């Protein structure tokens, strides 16, 4: 049986969740480069695709958890900077 997610557990130890997320993101770099090599494209393409997929999954999670109303707390200059990056 898979362990269930609990907000109580997450809020109790957010540093562990943050560190595990960073480790997973760093571990994804060689995988993205390897898959781009298998596909026969430049490794930068694989890294860029991995970054896009991470953003896409974040948007899906925010939509599923109905957290979009929290975007009103993000200042307009930050939103403009994020839009420029994409």
- In this structure, are residues 32 and 49 in contact, taking their beta carbons and an 8 Å threshold? yes
- The domain limits of the chain are 15-85
At 17 the three-state DSSP class reads helix
pLDDT at 2: 54
pLDDT at 83: 64
pLDDT at 5: 63
pTM > 0.75:
no
Question: CA dist 72 to 6, 40, 62, 76, Å?
Answer: 26, 42, 14, 9
- Residue identified by tokens 């109790």 is 12
| Bigger pLDDT: 86 vs 72 | 72
């Amino acid at each position: 049986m898979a362990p269930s997610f609990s907000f109580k557990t997450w809020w109790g130890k957010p540093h562990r969740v943050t560190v595990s997320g960073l480790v997973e993101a760093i571990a994804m770099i060689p995988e993205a480069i390897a898959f781009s090599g298998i596909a026969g494209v430049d490794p930068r393409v694989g890294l860029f695709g991995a970054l896009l997929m991470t953003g896409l999954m974040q948007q899906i999670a925010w939509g599923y958890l109905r957290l979009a109303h929290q975007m009103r707390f993000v200042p307009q200059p930050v939103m403009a900077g994020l839009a420029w990056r994409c």
